[in-house]
Structure 1
Amino acid sequence: MSYVHVFSPKAPKLKPIAGLSIPFCSIGKQSPSSWSLIEPSSFKVRGKNCFRDKKKEFAPTNAAFYSLGADLFLSQLKIEHIARFLGVPSISIPGDGPSILIVNIQVAVYFLV
């Protein structure tokens, strides 16, 4: 995996730019180890009456956030608030909500020796 960055929780001297370690590819030109945008309406979500009828319906055609990039890091320690170690782009979007949402998913991988 050439796109995995080994990461230390100590502040790095140079901050890697967020969203550039895994390449973007359009859906028509997919390649391994890349990511693509997908239409929000391709997902089924809980409907208004889901608790009564247990039915799901297709999501609306717009989304609250759209992906700008993806990264993968490997670290020996759990890292809280990873954005402080990355160069996050400055984006200004009109409205009341945040302009950027960073989703940090951490998976514990234990190796037996």
Structure 2
Amino acid sequence: MSLPAQLFAALRQLAGDRCFPEQIPQSNKDWPAIFYRITGTPQNTIGGDSDQDVYRVEINLIDRSTDKIWALRRPVFDAIDFAFDSAERITDLPAPYDDSGALFRRVIEYYVRSE
């Protein structure tokens, strides 16, 4: 299974199937929602070559309530830990989402090993 397919399978049910690659469609009006990005491989090769690549994955949690986003964090952590043998969480921070202030966002980033 590809890395995008693994991410979708791991995260989709956490937000009622509102889980999207890259961005949330403008037609989406239900919350919470999750979007994810695979942003590339880190430049560090100190350990040498491997049969697996390490990818940086960004998971964005979006909702009208910061409390609901906070409650989603642990299920996301558990889903990623279950889906990937080797995942290292590197950030877990609030971030701006829209200018109106009607929606809130939390960004969780991981290094994930995948073939």
Q: Give TM-score, length-normalised by structure 1.
A: 0.35
Structure having the higher helix fraction is: 2
Q: Whose radius of gyration is greater, 1 or 2?
A: 1
Report 1 or 2 for greater relative contact order, CA contacts < 8 Å, sequence distance ≥ 6: 1
Which has the larger share of strand?
2
